[in-house]
Amino acid sequence: MKRYINPLLAMLVCLAAIGCSADDSTQNPYKTNDKTPPGQITVTSVDQIAGGAIIRYNTPSDPDLMYVKALFQTSQGETREARASFYVDSIKIHGLGDTNERIVSLYAVDRNENVSAPVFETIIPGEPSVATIANSLTYIVDWGGFILNYVNADRDEVGIYVGFSNENQPEETLYDVFFTSRPEGTIAVRGLESLETSFYVVVKDRWDNTSDSLKFTITPWNESELDKKRFRYVPRVLDDVEWFHYAGAPENLYDNVFPQSWNFAHTAYPIAFPHAVTIDLGVIVKMSRFRLWQYLGELTDYYAHGAPRLFRVWGCPAEANPYEAESWILLMDEEMKKPSGGSFTSPNTLDDMEEANRGHEFVFDMDIPKIRYFRFQSLASWSGMECSRISEITIWGDIESEIDY
């Protein structure tokens, strides 16, 4: 019986055999035996940037050129290398923590790692971001600490380190670190005793460059976190609505169970705004600030559904009747905003989500009166739906006395 031989298969077998018997040198990497270094680059300009410089150049005409590298000294005295592909005409030197003059060694490198003769270029780095940010710092005394403002025009990733010492902590101690790459911002340093306290603030970047210290002494205003075990839900105050729909309950607002599935206070839907809820705080207090957590069951729940966007906070003194409209004093008229400045329809950024997870903090004016009853009034939701949903509320203030129930 005759066998059929596929001519295409036979040809492929023959080619494979020829390939296997070919000179091994054809399988070697590109120009393995090439020992000729490429020509030098030619620097055309140097542009100063924060903490470094951008060096522009013309590359040599070598066809096997792979990249350009630069060697330079860091502020810590270490040698660092930067590289740039042969497709571009510049190399970035950055991460320097001072404005001292430096000599940068520049080399052209080919596919076989042959290195050209160096070209030496002197640069004078621009002022590093750690210095410009530190120079921008301003502070004001506040409840339980102080407010720190900064400007980070170059949007560098930095850590702002805060340390302190006082009579109860004589040794300088790191208190907290705040990481940011925002162009500007405000940091609330909280939770400190109302004692005369010396603070230091330094800025540090990812290359371990550190700014000079900002030092100051202040006495934080006295504040304490209110004990939620003393809180009581006060039903049917004026035009308050019910908050126990969709497995929610008003008591969930102060149960210390932070944003998780199905733990929230929820109004009915649809029900026209405003949506108010009233809590007896169990103390007479001058409130300093409060923090509100949205419901955060899924990523799609951030700044969505019934999360309050516009709201008011009212207070009623201990001696007044909370069921009478004239007893209530407007303490805050606010808006919950995304750090990114985005709208309901814009994607949430990492900053937006971190803010929601941390809780949105709102600070009261210093001249508000002491109150016993706290009334939160939602005026509009993020989604536009006529409902409100909140996971948790935490309140701080200067407590005068406790209420005997």
Query: What integer pLDDT is reported at residue 205 of this predicted model?
Result: 97
Q: Kindly report whether the peptide bond that precedes residue 7 is cis, defined as omega within 30 degrees of 0.
A: no
Flag whether pLDDT at 30 surpasses 90.
no
Question: 33 phi and psi, to 5 degrees?
Answer: -90, 5
Confidence category of residue 262, pLDDT binned at 50, 70, 90: confident
E strands along 98-230, which residues? Answer: 102-110, 119-123, 138-142, 145-151, 158-166, 169-180, 184-189, 197-205, 214-218, 224-225
Alpha helices in 235-374 (DSSP H): 350-358
Q: Tokens 């800025």 map to which residue? A: 203
The answer as to whether 12 is a domain residue is: no
Assess whether 231 and 336 both reside in one domain: yes
The whole-number pLDDT of residue 26 equals 40
User: Percent helix, strand, coil in the chain (nearest 5)?
Assistant: 10, 45, 45
Predicted confidence band of residue 297 (pLDDT cuts 50, 70, 90):
confident
Q: CA-to-CA distance for 106 and 70, rounded, in angstroms?
A: 5
- Please give the Cα distance from 340 to 349 (Å, whole number): 7
Separation in Å, CA 18 to CA 7, 11, 115, 116, 118: 17, 11, 37, 39, 45
103 and 141 both lie in a single domain: no
How much is the pLDDT for 300?
87
pTM score > 0.95 for this model? Answer: no
DSSP-assigned beta bridge partners for residue 374: 279, 315
201 with 248, same domain? no
Secondary element (H or E) of residue 320: none
331 lies in the same domain as 290: yes
Report yes or no: 150 and 178 within 8 Å, Cβ to Cβ.
no
Q: Are both 116 and 137 inside the same structural domain? A: no
Q: pLDDT > 90: what percent of the chain? A: 88
278 burial via Cβ count (<10 Å: 0-12, 13-18, 19+): buried
Q: How confident is the model at residue 217 (pLDDT cuts 50, 70, 90)?
A: very high
Does the residue 5 lie in any domain? no
Kindly report the CATH number assigned to the domain that includes residue 94: 2.60.40.10
Same domain, 241 and 314: yes
- Grouping H, G, I as helix, E, B as strand and the rest as coil, residue 354 is helix
* Distance separating the N- and C-terminal Cα atoms of the chain: 107
Task: Give the C-alpha separation, 320 to 373, whole Å.
Answer: 9
**Domain final residue pick, 159, 186, 218:** 218
Is 2 a residue whose pLDDT tops 70? no
Tens of pLDDT along 124-152?
999 999 999 999 999 999 999 999 999 99
Of 90, 107, 123, which residue is a domain's last?
Answer: 123
Is residue 17, in this structure, part of any structural domain at all?
no
Examine the pLDDT at 9 and tell me if it is beyond 50.
no
Domain of 237 in residue numbering reads as: 224-402
Q: How much of the chain, in percent, has pLDDT values that exceed 70? A: 92
* Alpha-carbon separation of residue 149 from 111, 137, 178, 185 (angstroms): 50, 6, 12, 6
Looking at every residue in the chain, the average pLDDT score rounds to 92
Q: Are residues 398 and 299 in the same domain?
A: yes
The secondary structure of 51-106 as a DSSP string is TEEEEEEEPP--TTEEEEEEEEE-TTS-EEEEEEETTSSEEEE----S---EEEEE
End residue of a domain, out of 185, 218, 251: 218
Which residue, 263, 235, 233, is CA-closest to 247?
Answer: 263
In the predicted structure, residue 261 carries a pLDDT above the cut 80: no
Same domain, 329 and 228: yes
Among 351, 349, 309, residue whose Cα is nearest residue 333: 309
Question: Which of 109, 127, 131, 126 lies closest to 118, judged by CA?
Answer: 109
CB atoms within 10 A of CB 222: 15
Does 230 lie in the same domain as 376? yes
